[in-house]
Amino acid sequence: AALAAQTLREPPATVAQAGFVFRYDDGDPALLETGFMQTVEATLAAAYSAIAPYGLWLEPVEVLVAPDQGMLRAMLPNEPVTPSPYAETVIVGRRIYLTDWPIDLEPQLRHAFIRVVANALTEGGYPAPTWFAQGLAVLAENDPTRLQFAASNLRRDPPMTFAQLDTAVAGGNVQAAEHALGQSALMVRSLLDQVGPTAVVPFLMNMGWGTLPELAFTELTGVRPVDWLQRWYAAGPR
């Protein structure tokens, strides 16, 4: 009964395109006359193309567009929500829920798509550490603002711990959240410089197969996460 009620609240129109299923109200002029849906579809198609070199194939990712926050919340299934810095985009598993026509729509969509990829690759096992998944997603936004903010802070203050990084975004302190997102992105960028970007998929899949995240990280880098963080900070974040 709960699933049926949730389905009734979902948008009526369905369009399948380029690895995505888009659900929205095709009678809403705000979506069609402004080019909103065209932007959503084009941005996500480009994001999907960007992961093609990694040989990934995902089952169609569902994108549900709600007219307001109330309807968005009504659409959400009774499943864990992936932490996100954006109120306008909510990620649940392989689904992206979108509302309120954000000004920074394209970066938000790129962010959300990477979180969906991380969810898909770790499905059935252990989720990726929040700092790693959010760092990847922030890098995908192609906006250096948060990285610059965190780098400035790190010149005078020690880094956030992994526990702090994993909770700051949902903690209600805007500056702490922005720093956590930026520091996570700086860390992931350094990690990719160290192990290469092609190591990301096996790392995520390792956790999906049931390897504890700390062990998967140690297998990837040769050191424990806490030791890696200390070395990273000692070398000077960049």
Neighbours of 61 (CB within 10 A): 23
Kindly report, residue by residue over 45-95, the tens digit of the pLDDT: 999 988 877 878 788 899 999 888 898 888 898 888 998 899 899 999 999
pLDDT confidence of residue 4: 41
Residue 232: helix, strand or coil by DSSP? helix
Between 220 and 8, the more confident residue is 220
Kindly report, residue by residue over 121-160, the tens digit of the pLDDT: 999 999 999 999 999 999 999 999 999 999 999 999 999 9
Q: Rounded to whole angstroms, how far apart are CA atoms 171 and 166?
A: 10
Q: Quick check: 63 and 116 in contact, CB under 8 A?
A: no
Kindly report, residue by residue over 179-235, the tens digit of the pLDDT: 999 999 999 999 999 999 999 999 999 999 999 999 999 999 999 999 999 999 999
Residue 184: helix, strand or coil by DSSP? helix
pLDDT confidence of residue 118: 96
Q: What angle do CA 52, 58, 62 make, to 5 degrees?
A: 120
- Cα–Cα nearest to 62, from 84, 40, 79: 40
Q: Rounded to whole angstroms, how far apart are CA atoms 169 and 120?
A: 21
